Structure 1
Amino acid sequence: MDVKLLEAFRAVVDHRSVTAAATAMGVTQPAVSTQIARLEEAVGFPLFERAGGRLKPTPEGVLFYAEASRVLGEVDRLQAATMQIREGQSGRLVIASHPSAAISLLPPLVAAFVAERPGVAVRLISRHSDVVSQLLPTESFDIGIAELPIDETQVEVRRYGMRCVAILPPRHALASRRVLTPQLLAEYPMVMPARSHQVPNRIRGVFSAAGVQLNGVVEAEFFATLCGLVAAGTGWSIVDPLSAQNFAHLGLVARPFEPAITYEIGAFWRRDREPSVLAAAFLEMLDNKLNG
């Protein structure tokens, strides 16, 4: 049944006049009359009778009005939902991320994202980078974020690089230095990132090239743990700048490190399917954050 016929019928009942209904709908009176005639032909019974020069619903018309109003209410809700989905204001977004991004990068982004979209629900899954990459074929999330390299056989990847910083405990002897180097840091205890990360090999490489030895005393899995250990005075470390910023309230002293060590991550999604409206909007927000 044509929804426009139901809308014309509802308007005539509400306004008790074809003329008034036509004005409210922004169409001509003959157009509304034609729609009512078509609807009566379709349902097989009269919907109106004239009383005192005005239209009055028949008993059958009253019953039909109640059902038509319910259906049109559902149509209105569907149209509103369609608009929200089209504009990225409704739906569910699932993001699977490695722990460092889940702790330091994503919380403010997700907070801003849902603040602009009250009808959107977001679920965050935190796993190691290799696990995140393995989850995607199961379609358990919309966007994955992991350390590079990422197997690109089934995914599209956007790459991001962040220059790492050296972090020191409060009141460290090198806190007054503007730039830190392997030669300056070699004699001091270091909190090392776990060997499963990409960063430790790069740290060892630059120290070896400088001809000095690392003095690693503790090894930890996550950048957040490294920051906590450094703040407690265990030693210095090298982390991504977002982690250093996120834990600055612990009194950490962050300084540029030379030569540069880049921490690389990637955001990815299924190659055989375009990102949803919500996923595309979040990816744009991520781009602005990491490339801005």
Structure 2
Amino acid sequence: MTKGPENLPETSMRLLEIFAAMMGQRTTVATAESLGISQPAVSAGLRQLEAQLGLTLFERTGRHLEPTLEARNLYEEIRPLFGIVRSFAMRARDLRNGRVGRLRVIATPPPGYSVIPQAMRGFLDTRPDVTVSFDVRRLDNVLHAVQTGQADVGIGLASARIPNVNTEELRPGQMVALLPRDHPLARHEMIEVAALTGERFIGIDQESYLGRMVAQAFEEAHVTYHPQLETRYCQTAASLAASGMGVCIVDPWSAQPYLEGPASVGGLVARPLAQPCPVRCMMFTRRGVPHSGLLQVFMEEMRRATAALDIPGLSATRAAAATKDR
């Protein structure tokens, strides 16, 4: 018999599990069924445990095995252990299914203020034991946080895959002109950048990725880019346009809350640009690091929420592309 450092028998959890089940079932057949093992395995396990302990644990009375006084005393000692084991197993299951833990999410403003709140609601409503750290920053900050492990997942807008991180495209889009619904250009399905000449234009800071994209669209159309107002984020530009401060070119996610409809806060219309100005909603994770169950569940919520979001101008852009291909 194997002994520990203090002359104590080394008893496995499996043997204790058989013993505890036997205390409740009182027959080897029922015990085997409850544990999903064979009846001979139960009998062998009980014999091994009795040999290790040097005690008789059960005595046969008819078709049942009755626990001895020693068995009853030992059972009271180990009963709390099985509560701990059950809690451990349930915790492991919840971790595997993404029902407990802490998730760190970082995003650029367009998805951070539009699609992520919807995904977060579906994610947290059924997970009261999960906590989320959520921050909204510029794309460079988002990518740095993911690469260095400061965030578990990042979501942002880009035109192509980003090196040094795992990149998954959630949804394609096209930059749109945001106009008052009674503006003459609102009758057009698509807007040429040149048509915006002479308008009070709200620009995006050219230090940002989207701001550079807007400025480049004007340059490629050989039109002077001279915004009367300039702001850091597309959401701010859309809010100013909704206040009657002018027109702007923004990503469709930033435009969505300000469009006409029951939930509109601005009564504007969005028209895609005629020249290619693609922007994609991307999800970023750290390379070489396995996804936790919690992260996998959140990523799936992001896919669902992004697929369900109504992206302004997307259908018109696809129709124009199909016509051009023909």
- Output aligned runs, 1:213-252, within 5 Å: 213-214=224-225, 216-248=227-259, 249-250=264-265, 251-252=267-268
Query: Alpha-carbon deviation of 1:230?
Result: 0.9
Query: Alpha-carbon deviation of 1:259?
Result: 1.4
Query: Alpha-carbon deviation of 1:192?
Result: 0.9
Match of 2:120 in 1: 110
Match of 2:317 in 1: none
CA distance in 1: counterparts of 2:275 and 2:76, whole angstroms: 75
Paired residue for 1:278, among 278, 294, 297? 294
- Structure 1 pair 169/18, CA: closer, same or farther in 2 (3 Å)? same
- Tell me, yes or no, if structure 1 residue 258 matches structure 2 residue 274: yes
Paired residue for 1:86, among 92, 96, 119? 96
Q: Secondary structure at the match of 1:267?
A: strand
CA distance in 1: counterparts of 2:168 and 2:35, whole angstroms: 49
1:66-108 C-alpha deviation (Å, 9 max, x unpaired)? 3333222322332333333334444332112222221123111
1:137-188 C-alpha deviation (Å, 9 max, x unpaired)? 5422111234548873x43334565211111134334333332222322121
- Could you state the TM-score of these two structures normalised by the residue count of structure 2? 0.75
- Structure 1 pair 31/182, CA: closer, same or farther in 2 (3 Å)? closer
> Which moves more between the two structures, 274-283 or 189-198?
274-283
Match of 1:172 in 2: 183
Query: Alpha-carbon deviation of 1:260?
Result: 2.7
Query: Alpha-carbon deviation of 1:276?
Result: 3.0
Query: Alpha-carbon deviation of 1:290?
Result: 5.7
> Which moves more between the two structures, 235-244 or 214-223?
214-223
CA distance in 1: counterparts of 2:219 and 2:276, whole angstroms: 14
Which residues of structure 2 form unaligned runs of 5+? 1-10, 309-326
Match of 1:14 in 2: 24
1:199-236 C-alpha deviation (Å, 9 max, x unpaired)? 33333333344344445221111222112111111011
Which residues of structure 1 form unaligned runs of 5+? none
CA distance in 1: counterparts of 2:111 and 2:31, whole angstroms: 57
Count of residues paired in the alignment? 291
CA distance in 1: counterparts of 2:31 and 2:193, whole angstroms: 81
Amino acid at match of 1:177: H
- Structure 1 pair 18/283, CA: closer, same or farther in 2 (3 Å)? closer
Q: Secondary structure at the match of 1:46?
A: coil
CA RMSD of aligned residues (A): 3.2
Query: Alpha-carbon deviation of 1:247?
Result: 3.3
- Structure 1 pair 196/69, CA: closer, same or farther in 2 (3 Å)? same
Contact 1:96 1:143 survives alignment (8 Å): yes
Contact 1:17 1:54 survives alignment (8 Å): yes
CA distance in 1: counterparts of 2:278 and 2:229, whole angstroms: 22
Aligned-pair identity (%)? 30
Amino acid at match of 1:205: Q
CA distance in 2: counterparts of 1:24 and 1:278, whole angstroms: 31
CA distance in 2: counterparts of 1:109 and 1:142, whole angstroms: 16
CA distance in 2: counterparts of 1:235 and 1:264, whole angstroms: 25
- Output aligned runs, 1:1-292, within 5 Å: 1-25=11-35, 27=37, 29-49=39-59, 54-115=64-125, 120-148=130-158, 152=163, 154-158=164-168, 161-214=172-225, 216-248=227-259, 249-250=264-265, 251-264=267-280, 266-283=282-299, 286=302
Amino acid at match of 1:72: F
Contact 1:189 1:236 survives alignment (8 Å): yes
- Structure 1 pair 45/232, CA: closer, same or farther in 2 (3 Å)? same
